[in-house]
């Protein structure tokens, strides 16, 4: 091999060893965080130290009349933990029966001895639809007992690019936003760019990570006055490929 060829070969090796930012990132280990999302059929690990648990109770689905489709057979008891009851919504045209069913479940969980912190609405509001979403949430807030808090999930896009006036309106209605950083089982690439634009985000927020997903904390998070920590979305172990 000539000297020039050897040099080119060495550069090629260095290029091949160039670090992948996602590969360097740490994986989100649920056992190390104090807040988790628990969907039906998923059990937290025995060593989970979570003191705050977001539990999916039901869904308001797109098809048919607006009603709460319950996803749990009973009401689990979670002593020593702060519980958020989550309703996944595909639509916002809730009727009286929808609200009544949601509030009835909140009362059931409370009566079972759970420390219910509040209700979370899990809805993918479009960036340009925040103002209309705020109107819906104002109605939820009015119906929710004053002792309970109101939480919502938020997409990174509208969290970073949402209209400041619309976000200010949300800040008067909700107690927190949980910003989703993942899709399915993977962290969304480029999340650092979204958080870099959240310097003036006016609402207390948590950051939701997917269990096992790549994550390197953006430097701005720890110094952000509205940052309240993380929530890890638990997964069932992936089935091995045949």
User: Where along the chain do its domains lie?
Assistant: 23-233
Q: What is the mean pLDDT of residues 56-79?
A: 93
Residues 164, 167: Cα–Cα separation, whole Å: 5
23-233: CATH class: alpha beta
pTM recorded for the entire structure: 0.85
The confidence score (pLDDT) of residue 50 equals: 92
The total of other beta-carbon atoms located within 10 Å of residue 58's CB is 20
Which residue, 148, 145, 123, is CA-closest to 134? Answer: 123
Over range 190-199, report the average pLDDT. 90
- Give the rounded percent of residues in the chain with a pLDDT score beyond 70: 86
Distance CA 210, CA 230 (A): 10
Average pLDDT of the residues in 162-186: 89
- pLDDT band (50, 70, 90) for residue 103: very high
> What is the Cα–Cα distance from 158 to 101, expressed in whole angstroms?
29
Mean pLDDT of 48-61: 94
* pLDDT surpasses 90 at 206: yes
Query: What's the confidence (pLDDT) of residue 6?
Result: 40
pLDDT at residue number 25: 64
SS3 content of the chain, % helix, strand, coil (to 5): 35, 25, 40
């Amino acid at each position: 091999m000539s000297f020039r060829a050897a040099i080119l070969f060495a550069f090629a090796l260095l290029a091949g060893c160039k670090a992948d930012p996602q590969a360097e990132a740490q994986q989100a280990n649920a056992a190390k965080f104090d807040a988790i999302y628990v969907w039906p059929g998923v059990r937290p690990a025995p060593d989970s130290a979570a003191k705050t648990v977001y539990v999916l109770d039901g869904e308001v689905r797109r098809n048919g009349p607006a009603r709460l489709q319950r996803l749990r057979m009973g009401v689990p008891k979670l002593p020593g933990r702060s519980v958020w009851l989550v309703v996944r919504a595909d639509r916002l045209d809730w009727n009286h029966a929808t609200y009544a069913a949601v509030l009835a479940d909140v009362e059931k969980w409370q009566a079972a001895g759970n420390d219910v912190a509040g209700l979370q609405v899990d809805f993918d509001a479009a960036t340009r639809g925040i103002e209309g979403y705020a109107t819906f949430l104002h109605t939820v807030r009015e119906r929710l007992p004053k002792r309970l808090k109101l939480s919502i999930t938020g997409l990174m896009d509208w969290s970073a690019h949402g209209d400041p006036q619309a976000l200010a309106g949300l800040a008067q209605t909700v107690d927190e936003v949980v910003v989703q950083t993942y899709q399915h089982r993977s962290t969304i690439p480029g999340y650092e760019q979204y958080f870099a634009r959240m310097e003036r985000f006016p609402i207390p927020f948590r950051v939701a990570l997917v269990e096992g997903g790549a994550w390197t904390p953006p430097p701005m998070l720890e110094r952000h006055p509205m940052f309240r920590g993380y929530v890890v979305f638990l997964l069932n172990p992936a089935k091995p490929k045949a």
